[in-house]
Amino acid sequence: MSSFIGFKEIIEEQKKPLPYKIERAVYAIRKGFSLSKHHTALAFSGGKDSTVLWHLIRTYCPEQAESMHVIFGNTGVEYPESLQFARELGNKWGGDHFHETKLLRTEQKGLKYAAQREVLEWLRSEGRLSEVLKADGKLKSTQCLERSATPQMWEDFEKRGLVWPKNTPMSYWWCTDQYGFPILGKATSKLDARRINIDCFLEFSKSSSEKDELHEYYDVLRQCKFSQHCCKLLKKEPSERMQAELDVDVIFKGLMASESQMRKMNFSTRGYIFESHRAHITDGSFYHVNPLQIWTDEDIWEYIRTYDVPYSPLYDVSWTDKAGVEHKIQRNGCWGCATGILYKDNQITMIRHTHPQLHATLMKKGMGDELLKLAKTKNNGRLNLTAVFEGSAQELLERRPCAFDDLDERVDGSGIDEEHDAEIKNEEE
């Protein structure tokens, strides 16, 4: 069986019965094991898809399953139900081969974003911006800005709680302070530079105004502090570090084409097995294996019911919308993710009902303020909001129905790549 399958073929394959899909998945699993020269691993999230994949591996390749590593990506913002389930199943099925990813820690103390802004404004008032800005108006580096602060300023920031101590975990909260909250879709919020770098770019760089089609996007970016860096910092990088530590050269993932058009396109162009380069592999390739490529959610649940597979109790949590319609949580993941905020019944709307304490924490620690800024942003009609946003974020959050539940139009961030990539790459030089 070829690893490549066309876009239209994927759609046809998705219509086939579960026994056929099990057969195809098992073939892909065995093929993946045959490619390994070092060690294999399963990317495990505690969700239903990766659990079913693990069950398939244990059932049809029991010998290989015994030596396979299982890497649980603990982002620190996992749903409590999923976290408990992942650890319990990991210990039961994986034993010593079950591993949790760890967050990096800061190597030196640093300023929180509010303090970085104060330093920038102080330098502006002193006429010393040239000390921290490049000729094109971009920030030389975050460290350069922080070094400009006087000892007295550092002492004051310490007293006011505006300093991240050395060895601080680079957690979701550290990331949202330094980069921004994961608000809006990934195509829009993919900027990887620290927020203070983006501020300087928007305020001082002439290149920020060269493209007319980006002006509306810049207007939103000026008002709302958002970024997708948390996905890279909390998920991608910790997993890849652990893969390197365990000398993994084949990683199994429970990704399905049915989850998005992007994944469908990726599978049609790359196949269910594709190669990539990893520095720790010097005698061959690193392989990504996706045996559930043609499966759907319905297949996953049929398999769970048929073979009595355990699953996270998160999927049994439900809530009722303002129209009286009951919803169940469909996917696990990071509860602090607001990339779908502009769609109805999004995750933030959901956790307000299902996990009110988590929602309250998220809003009080800054996301509420950023959503309010987003809501008030006007972009020549591109961001058309159905509610009038007046008052504080807390007042809006307490309104019933919640005002933030009505954000339902996209903000276009396409074309930002060329504008920011250079800055992103050099941000931490």
Please write the tens of the pLDDT for every residue from 79-132. 999 999 999 999 999 999 999 999 999 999 999 999 999 999 999 999 999 999
| Structural domain spans, the chain | 7-100+247-314, 110-228+413-426, 315-406
Q: What are the residues whose beta carbons fall under 8 Å from the beta carbon of 354, sequence distance 6 or more?
A: 317, 318, 319, 329
Q: Which of 162, 204, 197 is nearest to 179 (CA)?
A: 197
Which of 32-41, 150-159, 168-177, 188-197 is the least confident region?
188-197
Q: Cα–Cα distance between 228 and 233 in angstroms, integer?
A: 9
> Is 137:424 a contact under the CB 8 Å cutoff?
no
Q: Cα–Cα distance between 348 and 363 in angstroms, integer?
A: 10
Write out pLDDT tens, residues 298-350. Answer: 999 999 999 999 999 999 999 888 788 898 888 888 999 998 887 777 888 88
Q: Cα–Cα distance between 77 and 66 in angstroms, integer?
A: 29
Q: What are the residues whose beta carbons fall under 8 Å from the beta carbon of 98, sequence distance 6 or more?
A: 70, 72, 90, 91
Place of tokens 């302070």: 177
Amino acid at 78: E
Write out pLDDT tens, residues 174-219. Answer: 999 999 999 887 666 667 899 999 999 999 987 655 566 677 778 7
3-state helix, strand, coil in the chain (%, to 5): 50, 10, 40
Place of tokens 């996209």: 410
Q: Which of 191, 197, 43 is nearest to 120 (CA)?
A: 197
Q: Cα–Cα distance between 406 and 412 in angstroms, integer?
A: 18
Q: Which of 31, 46, 18, 40 is nearest to 310 (CA)?
A: 46
Q: Given pLDDT bands bounded at 50, 70 and 90, which one contains residue 417?
A: very low
Tell me which CATH homologous superfamily contains domain 7-100+247-314. HUPs (3.40.50.620)
Q: Given pLDDT bands bounded at 50, 70 and 90, which one contains residue 47?
A: very high
Amino acid at 43: A
pLDDT of residue 385: 39
> Is 407:375 a contact under the CB 8 Å cutoff?
yes
pLDDT of residue 142: 96
pLDDT of residue 427: 31
Predicted structure pTM score: 0.84
Mean pLDDT of 364-390: 63
What is the Cα Rg of the chain in Å?
Answer: 23
Q: Which of 57, 55, 71 is nearest to 27 (CA)?
A: 57
Cα 53 → chain centroid: 22
CA distances to 73, 104, 201, 260 from 413, rounded to whole Å, are 28, 29, 16, 19
> Is 52:300 a contact under the CB 8 Å cutoff?
yes
Would you state the structure tokens that stand for residue 88, as one six-digit string? 């319990």
Cα angle value 75/78/84 (rounded, 5°):
115
Write out pLDDT tens, residues 259-291. Answer: 766 666 676 677 789 999 999 999 999 999 999
> Is 141:427 a contact under the CB 8 Å cutoff?
yes
How many C-beta neighbours within 10 Å does residue 233 have?
22
Would you state the structure tokens that stand for residue 338, as one six-digit string? 């607001």
Mean pLDDT of 223-229: 90
Mean pLDDT of 163-178: 97
* Coil, strand or helix at 390: coil
Q: Cα–Cα distance between 143 and 428 in angstroms, integer?
A: 8
Mean pLDDT of 23-30: 96
Q: Which of 183, 214, 184, 188 is nearest to 201 (CA)?
A: 214
Residue 47 per-residue DSSP state? S
pLDDT of residue 387: 35
> Could you tell me the sign of the dihedral formed by the alpha carbons of 358, 90, 330, 315, in that order?
negative
Q: Which of 73, 17, 16 is nearest to 332 (CA)?
A: 73
Amino acid at 373: K
Would you state the structure tokens that stand for residue 344, as one six-digit string? 């109805």
Q: Given pLDDT bands bounded at 50, 70 and 90, which one contains residue 388?
A: very low
